[in-house]
Structure 1
Amino acid sequence: MVKQRDAFFDNAKYLAIVLVAIGHTWAQMMDDSRAVESAYRVVYTFHMPAFVVISGYFSRSFDLRPDRLRRLVTGVLVPYVVFETAYELFKDVADRPDPEISLLDPSYLMWFLAALFIWRLTTPLWKVLRSPLPAAVAVAMLASVSPSIGTDFDLQRVLQFLPYFVLGLCLRPEHFLAVRRRSVRIAAVPVGAAAFAVAWWSVPRMNGGWFYRQSAAQDLGAPWWCGPVMTLASIGCALVLTACFFAWVPGRRLWCTALGAGTITGYLLHGFLVKFAEYRGWFDAPWVHSPLGAVAVTVLAAAAVTLLCTPPVRRALRCVTEPRMAWAFRPDPAAEARAREQAQAAREPVHAQAGHGSPNAVNVQAGSGSPGSVNA
C-alpha cells in the first residue's frame, strides 16, 4: 500500500521553492530598490533554513543501510554531478566561454545538494549524541571564525546551515502542529512586519553577506567575535520567521500540493532561467527596476518555478534526478529477504481466510490484491 503524502509538507516545500526562485530573481534587481532589498533580506533570513529543516525532518530514518545509501547516491549525488557539470557548460551556451568544471566547488545553487549529501551521511552521528542541536550550533559558530575552511563543497554554508538540519532531525509531528495554531498564525503578521522594518533599517547599515552564511566574519571585514554573535542572532531570527512561515502554510490539499513532490526539478532548473536572463542583460532593462517591473518579474519567477515543479517535468528528468541505476549496485540480500517476507505476509491472510471456506471472505481478500487497491 502506497503511503499517503502529508499535504502540509508538500505545501511547505512548494512555497519554499517559490521563495528560493523569487529570492534569486530579486538578487538581480535590489541594487536600485531599498524595498526590494529589504524584502530580499527577510526572505533570505528564513527560506533556506525552512527548506533545510524540512530536509532534516525527512532524514530522521536515514542510516547506513545499503538501500538508503543507494537512494542517497541516486537522489542526491548523481543530480549534483549532472547539474554541476550542466551549469558550467551552460555558461558556454550563454556566451560565457571557458567553463571550468570542478565538482569540488559548487556553482550557484548546487551547494545545497553537496550539503545535503554531507548532512545525511552524518545523520547517524547526530542521532547518537545526547545533545545534537547545541553541538551543531557550536560547529556553526566555530565555522564563522574560520576563514581558512576554503570553498571546497562550499563548506562554510554546509556548517553554518547544519543547525537547521539537525533541528529537523530532532523535531516531531507535534512540534509542527504547535506552530500551526491560530494564535501563532495571528502573531506571525506583526512579526513579519517587524522583520521587514528591521531589514529596511539594516540595508544601509549591515553587510548583506551575513545572510548567505558562506563567509567567516573576517572575510566580511568584521572582528572574529562577530562571527559567533551573528551566528546566534541569525539562527534566532531564522527560527522565528521559519515558525511564522510554517504557521501560514495550509494543511489541506490545494492545487499546488502535488507540486511539492517536484521541488527538486524546480530547484535545479530555475537557476538556468535566472542565469540566462543575467547573462543576456535582461535584468538591466529600465522597466525591470520600476515598482511595477519588480512585481512583474516576481510573478514571472513564481510562475516559472511552478511550471518546473509539475509532474511532466519531473517525469522527463527522472533519469537524472531519481535514476534507478540498478546496474551500478550489488544486490542487497537483506532487501531481497525483506521483500520475500513482505510478499509472504501479504499472501498469508488470503490463505487463512480461504481455509475457513467462506466464499465472501475469499472474495474480499482477493480484492485487496487488485492493482487499483495497491495504487490507492
Structure 2
Amino acid sequence: MKRTVYFDNAKAILIYFVVLGHLLSGYLMENEYVDTFYLVIYLFHMPAFILIAGHFSRRIKRIADLTKIAKTLLLPYIIFQLIYSLYYKNIFGDNVKIEFLEPRYALWFLLSMIMWKIMLLAFGSHRSMVFVSVAISLLAGYMSEVNEWLSLSRTFFFFPFFLLGYYLDRENFVKMKNKWNVRVASILAVAVVLIVYLYGDIHWQEWFFGRVPYEDIRYGILQLNVLSRLFIYGLMMVSTYIFLTLVPKGNRWYTTIGGKTLCVYLLHLFIVRAFKETQIFEWIEDTGNYVVLFGVAFMIVYVLSRNWVWRITAPLITVNKK
C-alpha cells in the first residue's frame, strides 16, 4: 500500500469534514438529518485526525525537538490566537478577549498537540499506557479544574487516540485494508449511522467535544458520567476504525490536499464566520436546503488548499511544504 497516499487521502477527507462540521453547527436542532450527520462526523473526524498525528509523532529526545515544536505549533498558536481574537472582535463585534491561556475556536488542537508530544515522555514507553491514558481521562472528567484552560480537558479526552496512533505500526494500517475488514467496516458504518439516527440526541454533542468536565454537561447519556464517556469512546473507536478502513489507498484527485491540511484548518474559520453573516446562510436556514453546505465546504477546502494560499500562509505557520 502506498502509505503516504493513504494518509494524505485520509487527511484530505477529514479536513473536509472538519469544515463541513463547523458549517453544520449553525443549523443544529432544526433538522433531524442535519443533527444525525453532525454527530456522525464528530464521532470520527477529530479522533482519526489525532490518531494519524500520533502515528507520525516521535518522542522528544533533544533540544532541537523542542525548538521544532515551538516553531511549528506554539508560534502558529500565538499568532492565530491573536489574529482570530482581533478578527472576531473588530470585524463582527463578538464578545471576545485577547488572551492566550484559553484557545480560541479550533486552535485548541495546536495547544493539545504540544502537550501530547510532551506527554509521550511519560506515556511513550509501553503500549499498555493507552489504557492508562483512558483511565486518566475518565478520572479527569470529575475535576472541575480540568476545563478549557490550556485546553486541558480536550487534551486528556483525545490523548488515548493520539497514543494509540503512536503505537500503531504501518502494518496495522495495511491490514485494515483487506477485503474482510472493508466488508465489516461497511456494515458497521450503516449500523453506526442508524444507531445515531434512532437513539442519538444533538444535546449529547458536548460529550463528543470533551472540552468541559462532567459537571458542566447538562445532558447525560448513561446513568454514570464515566460510563457516558466510555460509551462515547467506544463509538469513536469503532467509527475511527470504519473510516480508516474505508479510506482509498490509491491516488485520487484530492490526494494533494492532504499535505496542506494545517493551512486549511487554521484559515477556514475566517471564512465560516463571515459566511454566517451572508444572505446565503439565511437562505439555507429559511429554505432548509442544507445540501448546499456540502458544496460550500468543498469550495472552502479547495480554495484554501491552493498553492498560492499555501505560499502566503507558510511563513505564519512556519512549516515546510512537504
**TM-score (normalised: structure 1):** 0.79
Q: More relative contact order in 1 or in 2 (CA 8 Å, sep 6+)?
A: 2
User: Matches of 1:203 and 1:100 in 2, distance apart?
Assistant: 35
**2:164 is aligned with 1:154:** no
1:10-44 deviations in whole A, cap 9, x for unaligned? 11111111111111111111221110000100110
3-state SS in 1 of match to 2:101: coil
- Map 1:239-278 → 2, pairs under 5 A: 239-278=237-276
Match of 1:199 among 188, 196, 199: 196
Q: What is the one-letter code of the residue matched to 2:229? A: T
> Does 2:297 align with 1:301?
yes
Partners of 1:263 and 1:287 in 2: how far apart? 27
> Is the deviation greater in 154-163 or in 195-204?
195-204
Work out the CA distance in 2 between the residues paired with 1:5 and 1:129.
24
Rounded to whole Å, the distance in 2 between the matches of 1:289 and 1:169 is 45
What is residue 105 of structure 1 aligned with on the other side?
102
Counterpart residue number, 1:319: 315
Query: What residue is the counterpart of 1:58 in the other structure?
Result: 56
Q: Which runs of 5+ in 2 are unaligned?
A: none
Identity %, equivalent residues: 26
Question: Residues 1-376 of structure 1: matches in 2 within 5 Å?
Answer: 6-59=4-57, 61-96=58-93, 99-129=96-126, 131-204=128-201, 207-221=204-218, 226-278=224-276, 280=277, 282=279, 285-288=282-285, 290-291=287-288, 293-322=289-318
Contact 1:217 1:226 in 2 (8 A): no
SS at match of 1:122: helix
Structure 1 222/208 Cα, relative in aligned 2: closer, same or farther at 3 Å? closer
Cα shift at 1:97 = 5.6
Summarize deviations over 1:180-206 as a string: whole Å, max 9, x none: 112222222221222122212234485
Alpha-carbon distance change, 87 to 205 in structure 1, aligned in 2, over 3 angstroms: closer
**Aligned residue pair count:** 318
Hey, what does 1:334 align to over in structure 2? none
- Residue type matched to 2:165 in 1? G
Shift of 1:277: 2.2
Cα distance in 2 between the residues matched to 1:19 and 1:122: 28
Q: Please give the alpha-carbon distance, in whole angstroms, between the structure 1 residues aligned to 2:215 and 2:247.
A: 37
* Deviation, structure 1 residue 323: 5.8
- Aligned-residue CA RMSD in angstroms? 2.2
- TM-score, normalised to structure 2, is 0.91
Contact 1:185–1:248 under 8 Å retained in 2: yes
In 2, the alpha carbon distance for the partners of 1:298 and 1:225 equals 36
3-state SS in 1 of match to 2:111: helix
Q: CA deviation at 1:296?
A: 1.1
The one-letter amino acid of 1:45's match is L
Which of structures 1 and 2 has the bigger CA Rg? 1
Q: For 2:238, what is the secondary structure of its paired residue?
A: helix
| Alpha-carbon distance, 1:72 to partner | 0.8
Alignment-mate amino acid for residue 34 of structure 1: E
Deviation at 1:128, TM superposition (A): 2.2
